[in-house]
Amino acid sequence: MAKGMKRMSQELKPKLVYYAGNKLLEGPVWDDKANVLYFVSIADNIIYRFDEETTEIESYPTNGPVGAAVLNEDGQLISAEKEGIYSINPETKERTFLLQANKDERMRYNDGKMDPKGRFLIGTMGYEEVIEGAAKLFVVEDDDVKEILSDMSIANGLGWSKDGQTFYHIDTPTNKVRAFDYNLDTAELSNERVVVEITDGGSPDGMCVDVDENIWVAEYGGKRICKWDTKTVEQLVDIPMPVSNITSCCLGGPDKNYLYITTAQEDGEPLSGGLFKVKIR
């Protein structure tokens, strides 16, 4: 396995596709209809829309640090910002305040995604420092907010199995990816178990689930992104990155054959804070 994994890693070469000196890029989301990529620059209070074919990039200013921006079924951006959750029209940039799920001023929003039923799941973390046990994971549906996970430190990467009945989630300082049974009707979680544990230096940050039901986990401080089989708990692919702090990833391209990868700055690493992609099939 080690030999095969090494061969695969050598074939998968990350390519820098966007760089503007951002401190902390996060949350890539592929728009299937427009063939563009959305991602956020948390510290710069900006959502980006990037058309790689034309190299055009559009900016959407936010009210404070933006943890995640996702697309709903109507093609609107749902943006989780320090001052609340907003709906943004990607074409007109018209903004509509929806609600504030997080009532703790010490916290900001972090990673979030739409579930298979169109509900927004969004986590939190400390705004100025990590606050152990204070992070939460919320479900937002219309005007309703429900807390489904608590007692975490950094609520981070999340994703679902193809049938939507298994939910994966990362609380970064635990170095673990947990799985839960996911009730599609109520968004309730049960049957918690650990499916991946990172033990070699990096910390799990963002993640995505691929078409084969494997998960790709970005390792902050680990200088790599890895694919895992959640049934066998086997590491299938290890992609070395040219920077240390790998923050998140998503599948993209018309055939979902690319992995888009966001990163954060690190002193002495000139490409850190850039957006990369790698062809995975």
Catalytically active residues, by annotation: 205
Tell me which H or E stretch contains 145: strand 144-152
CA gap 79, 112 in Å, rounded: 9
Q: Which of 139, 64, 145, 63 is nearest to 99 (CA)?
A: 145
Contacts 24+ apart (CB under 8 A), 223-226: 225/249, 225/259, 225/261
Ordered strands of the 46-51 beta sheet: 25-31, 36-41, 46-51, 56-61
List of residues 6+ apart from 117 with CB closer than 8 A: 164, 184, 187
